[in-house]
Structure 1
Amino acid sequence: MAQVFLSLGSNIDRERHIRAGLDALAGQFGALQVSRVFESVAVGFDGDNFYNLVVGIHTDLPVGQLALRLREIEDANGRLRAGPKFSARTLDIDILTYDDLSGTVDGVKLPRGEILKNAFVLLPLAELAPDAVHPLERKSYRQLWEEYDQASQELWPVSFDASGG
């Protein structure tokens, strides 16, 4: 079984879509490792703030089939794909890492570049898997976060009950 880390984000009806995404992932993959949820301003466009988190799963699905399954979950949550790359979205699920694979696998670039670029990806990943090592940088996510310019992107943890209770 591969260890996979996913990023989830939403800035449209955020709580409902993040919760629905987590429920769908748990239904598909069983027990989830779930980071805290962080709120951040939209990056790359003017829009409502996002909720972001990182989820760890184990799967036997190859990368391409996993990507299709994640796309189905996004679509089931009203994800619209027309329009600019940087825009509001109900649910965005990206494969960050798949074991220690690197390069383009089944059309998916691994590890995802946003790990090193965006605080809203790196911080929850560093909290969830601090000692895991980035496949290309060969540094732990904790170390990468410590080296990151933390003042460059503002984000803050939010109270979020994934069970809906």
Structure 2
Amino acid sequence: MITAYISIGTNIEREYHLKAGLDAVKKLASQWRMSRVFEAEPVGFSGDNFFNAVIEIQTLLPLTALQAQLKKIERQLGRPEHAVKNQSRTIDLDLLLYGDVVSTELPVLPRSDIYRFAFVLWPLSELSPELVIPKETQTLAQLWHNFSQQQELWPVEFVI
């Protein structure tokens, strides 16, 4: 069994797509849990605010199969296969961590978004504050405490 962390985000029909994305990801897992949902202003473009969260799953799927399933879910929920970055989207499912795997090949792991975006690191650090990710010495809680990037985001009430 592998523990994987997946960020989920949407700014189009947010409630619907977040629930649909979560429901689809849960089918890939024997166990799962999710961070709080955060509302975040878009980064790199003007658009509607996003709902973001991080999902932790326990899965038997190999890395390539999990990545393929996440991309399949995105397409099923209306995201174009070759979607451009920095634009509105129905769903974004990014594999952040897959056990202790470190990879420079796609998918690159740990995903650099952990270090770049508050909407990834804050929910990830709340979900597993004591986790030390591969090639790191600080816990996720320490990384969040020392995070310096500015982005407006806040927790929102969201019923699963």
Would you call these one fold, judging by a TM-score over 0.5? yes
Match of residue 28 from structure 2: 28
CA deviations on 1:21-70 (whole Å, 9 max, x unpaired) are 11111222133110000001111111110000000001121111111001
- The one-character-per-residue Cα deviations of 1:75-129 (angstroms, maximum 9, x if unpaired) are 1111124553211110000000011111235x21000000011000000000000
- How far apart, in 2, do the equivalents of 1:40 and 1:121 lie? 10
**What pairs with 1:9-88 in structure 2 (closer than 5 Å)?**
9-82=9-82, 84-88=84-88
Deviates more, 1:122-131 or 1:74-83: 74-83
**Contact (CA 8 Å) 1:130, 1:141: kept in 2 or not?**
yes
If the length of structure 2 is used for normalisation, what is the TM-score?
0.95
> 2:82, 2:55 → 1: CA distance?
26
Q: For the aligned residues, what is the CA RMSD?
A: 1.3
The runs of 5 or more residues in structure 2 that have no matched partner are: none
| Identity level (%) | 46
Q: Any stretches of 5+ residues in structure 1 without a counterpart?
A: none
Give the TM-score normalised by the residue count of structure 1.
0.92
Aligned length: 160
Q: How does 1:101-112 map to 2 (within 5 A)?
A: 101-105=101-105, 107-112=106-111
Q: Runs in 1 of length 4+ with deviation above 2 angstroms?
A: 81-84
Instruction: Say which SS state the counterpart of residue 66 (structure 2) adopts.
Output: helix
Q: 2:151 aligns with which of 153, 158, 162?
A: 153
Native 8 Å contact 1:80 1:89 kept in 2 = no
